[in-house]
Amino acid sequence: MNIAGNRRALRIGALALAVGLVLLGGCKREDDSAVAPAVDSTAAQPGIATPQATAEAPLELRDVIENTPQAVVGISYPPDVNRFPGLAKALSDYATAARAELQQAVDGLGNDKPTMPYELSLSFEKVLETPQLLVISADGSRYTGGAHGEPLVARFVWLPDAQQMLTADMLIADSKGWGVVSDYVADQLRERMATRLSSDDMEPGQMQEALRSASRMIADGTGASADNFSQFQPMTDPNGLIKAVRFVFPPYQVGPYSDGTQTVDVPAAVLAPHVAPAYAGLFAKG
């Protein structure tokens, strides 16, 4: 069904609901004339909050499709993520921040119309679910002019039992552990880059300069800090235990935009000695 058809169906549904409420209201008034309404003693006393006053409405994430002459917005969520209010809020906050930056660029246009519509495309997908872990990926881009869009890359690791997010600084809390991760990841990226460059038809001098430039970006983007490894997703074995952690690096962090998003899988054997005790049980042994 096209967008106009969807809107028409929504209008019809809303009208039907409104009519139903009017009819229900009429029935209710007739009933009220026969039966005196019950008095809620707590509602009548100042300072006593009713359950309705204190309960928060659950956050319900819904897909977004918007199309205007200035901007196009498309956001999609996993169908059952609302089961975890804390996780749903984190996804909502990320999407809201991405939309706010797009809107700021649109506001800057004034009454002008861009040559190409500004665009926000963002997809949240469930990439792993076990009794102990739920991992959501966020991938997309935001275009506000220029040669290409700005990549949007994020990972959300939710702990259902604790009802909280697992972040990089919680997973490994000390600089020594991040030093081990940094060395492993940087070695993998450099080896990958060297293999790729060796397949290109380059002069030895050009090859050395390209390797030096790539190594500088890799070193800058993989320093021994939790901030450089904030985007990650656990990889599990058949028993649901973590066998490796895939660290995700958006374009520009460890390479040029043309290299795209890069990932490095760090085995549990490398990570386990440095994982915080509270999360050691999530990892496979040996």
> What pLDDT is attached to residue 83?
93
Q: pTM of the prediction?
A: 0.77
How many whole angstroms separate alpha carbon 285 and alpha carbon 125?
29
Task: Indicate whether 115 pLDDT > 60.
Answer: yes
pLDDT digits (tens, 9 = 90+) for 183-222: 999 999 999 999 888 877 778 888 888 889 999 999 999 9
Confidence of residue 136 (pLDDT cuts 50, 70, 90): very high
How many whole angstroms separate alpha carbon 242 and alpha carbon 270?
12
| Contact assessment for residue 217 and residue 190, using Cβ atoms and an 8 Å cutoff | no
pLDDT digits (tens, 9 = 90+) for 67-95: 999 999 999 999 899 999 999 999 999 99
Long-range contacts, stretch 137-145, CB < 8 angstroms, 24+ apart: 137/233, 138/91, 138/94, 139/261, 140/98, 142/98, 142/101, 142/102, 143/116, 143/118, 143/119, 144/101, 144/102, 144/105, 144/118, 145/105, 145/114, 145/116, 145/118
pLDDT digits (tens, 9 = 90+) for 237-264: 999 999 999 999 999 999 999 999 999 9
> What pLDDT is attached to residue 201?
76
Task: Indicate whether 28 pLDDT > 90.
Answer: no
Nearest to 138 by CA among 128, 150, 152: 152
Domain ranges (residues) in the chain: 64-165, 168-282
| Fold equal for 64-165 and 168-282 | no
The correct CATH number of 168-282 out of 3.90.25, 2.60.120, 1.10.287, 3.90.640 is 3.90.640
CATH H-level superfamily of 64-165: Fervidobacterium nodosum Rt17-B1 like (3.30.565.40)
Which letter does DSSP use for residue 262 in this model?
E
